[in-house]
Amino acid sequence: MEKTQRQAIVKNRITIVTPPDDITQDGVRILVYGCTKEQTLLISSVIYQLEECKPTIIYVSNGQNDSEWALDKKLKCSIIVFNAEADDQTMIGYLTAQTNSYYFGQLRTLDGVNGNRINTEEQLTTIIGDHIT
């Protein structure tokens, strides 16, 4: 399949949701919290490079004044990907404690709680690919 055809198919199966919105359709759900532009672009790149993709809802929080929304969406998600260096360290602590969470950066005080640090694009591809392909 041509690259443009594959990307069109992937795009039609991805829904991006930001605060305060929600969506009721079925699909694999991913929460992306407090990520930098570079981290967000890496996540997008990984998803668009996958050969196939189940319907996927990606909740995107910039980590600013939307903690209640993010906590609600966290309950619905198969995967949580976050920036360990985001400003709201209370929320980072909560997300770190989740068994389905993976993070970029360095945890400030909770290294022993969660060993799911994302160090490479290949790791992220495996994490996301295992859930949405």
User: Where are the chain's structural domains?
Assistant: 3-132
- Rg of the Cα trace of the chain? 14
Question: What is the CB-side half-sphere exposure of residue 86 using CA atoms within 13 A?
Answer: 28
SS3 56: strand
Mean pLDDT of 1-7: 50
Is domain 3-132 in CATH 3.30.870, yes or no?
A: no
SS3 15: strand
Q: What is the pTM of this model?
A: 0.88
Band (109; pLDDT cuts 50, 70, 90): confident
pLDDT at 8: 46
Mean pLDDT of 2-25: 73
pLDDT in tens, 44-63: 999 988 877 889 999 999 98
